[in-house]
Amino acid sequence: MEQLTDSVSNASETKQPLNIDVVDSTLTEPTSHDQTQARLMEYRLYKRRYAGIIGMVILNIVGALSWPWFGPISNNVSAEFHITLDEVNWLGNMVSCIYLPTALLIPPFISRYGIRRCCDVGAVCLIISAWVRYAGTTRSLPTRGAYALLMFGQFFAAIAQPIFQVLGPKYSETWFSLQGRTTATMIIAIANPIGGAVGQLLSPLIVDTRQSILVLGIICTAAAPVVFLIGTAPPTPPTYSASRPSPSLWSLFARIVGTEKSEGDDFMTLRERFDFCIVLVIFSALVGATNTFSILTAQIFEPLGYSTDTSGLMGACLLLTGIVAAIVTAPLFDRVFTRHLAITAKIFVPIIAIGWLSMIWAAKPNNTGGLFALMTILGVTSITMLPVALELVCDLTRNADGSSSLLWFGANLFAIVFILGISSVMLYHYSRTDCSLVQGALRADDSADPPLNMRRALIFNGTFLMIVSATVFLLKGKQARKDLDESKLKESRDALANLQPIIA
């Protein structure tokens, strides 16, 4: 009690509010010290959380560079290293494939070693990937040896990328209060697509392919030290959820399927399990479709008569408008529309689905204005939904790292399936004098109007997303984690008010 008195005295002297949470509340009428038997915990925010989020953003951007880096320079890489374009494609596919198991290993690693150690592993993997890749540029190496080093470097890059992406909601929960969690999640979430866009723009600017790989290595190495800005956890948590240890991923699986029914803060009702599955499927499908579109933008629009630059600008339009919208809306969800995540999903998800469906008719020659307008709508709604979905599943499961891991796993899995299904990996075989295309299952042939169009791919994409997105109307989306944090905060304030007469 003397320690509590000192804490309140110090708060009074510094004119700072003191929020105390009753973890084990047994308070009745505060008539004596014997009746006040509770373990008390103070909630506090630290300015160093902003330094940590800067580190997370930088590492997310740099971690996303490796996946699309070789796509825009695939012809040069093929010629320089004497490998096929199919093998060049697998430098990017490697990242997608390794992403899946890595995403599922992150939650148990966080539970055991914490956020900072997890980020350390990601930073080390970035450095290793950078210089293993560059070692493959040695001209004296045989072709197979050089390609093996490039692939090995991409393997380590594939470990780093999901670490920083999956950690976003967990970092937000650990360091930010109820008034800042969604904004922090948004900032970290949009960093990854920014990194992908930067990678696609930067790699073609460096004419020499080997120098391009060197530049990528320098960027990764220079960014790695910002990991020291990231802390595992603050000395005093900002919310009750931040004070709890992360439940295991296996525990989350058991809660979702209903085999684990023991009571606790992370207990999930049947309604919450159903809602989580709805968000998981919708998030995976929409993010997978958006990622696939970003990769295949040129292949969709160039047969319709649009230049490579115009196709690239359409993809950039989707991303940039979405980033602006997310920056504007995320603080509103933190401070104004605090209970409207599910309602937002019911409004935005159908708009996104209708947008992709309308792409079937919008993707036609001489419709630049209409396509840019459609890209703007898709960008504003899609990117805005990133933090909304991530925060909603955290509220449903009370397990930030586990739910984030499953969402990003699903999104990446859907992206792989979409890319393989729509383009059949789009094998290209080049020689010095000619080029032939093995057409994808959903690509039209040379006799179509226009030739080699991807209308069937757009029909598949739009129809599938309409069916999946319709399930959003079944979503209830109770924000149980927010309810728990607000309840504990109220108990804290009531406990402090009851204790003040005793201290006096």
pLDDT tens column, 177-217: 988 999 999 999 999 888 988 888 888 888 888 999 999 99
Instruction: Answer yes or no: is pLDDT of 466 > 70.
Output: yes
pLDDT level of residue 245 (50, 70, 90 thresholds): confident
Whole-number pLDDT of residue 121: 96
Q: 15: how many CB neighbours lie within 10 A of its CB?
A: 6
Mean pLDDT on 332-345: 89
> Which one of 247-256, 279-288, 309-318, 430-439 scores highest in mean pLDDT?
279-288
- Helix (H) or strand (E) holding 302, with range, is none
- Helix (H) or strand (E) holding 314, with range, is helix 308-335
% of the chain at pLDDT higher than 70: 85
Alpha carbon distance 370, 83 (integer Å): 40
Q: What is the pTM of this model?
A: 0.84
Mean pLDDT on 15-37: 38
Structure tokens at 64: 């996303």
Mean pLDDT on 404-413: 93
Structure tokens at 212: 């391009």
Q: 21: how many CB neighbours lie within 10 A of its CB?
A: 24
Alpha carbon distance 280, 22 (integer Å): 34
Q: What is the mean pLDDT of the chain?
A: 82
pLDDT level of residue 428 (50, 70, 90 thresholds): very low
Amino acid of residue 384 = T
Residue of 426 and 480 predicted with greater confidence: 480
Alpha carbon distance 389, 460 (integer Å): 24
Instruction: Answer yes or no: is pLDDT of 157 > 90.
Output: yes
CB 408 within 8 A of CB 166: yes
CB 321 within 8 A of CB 376: yes
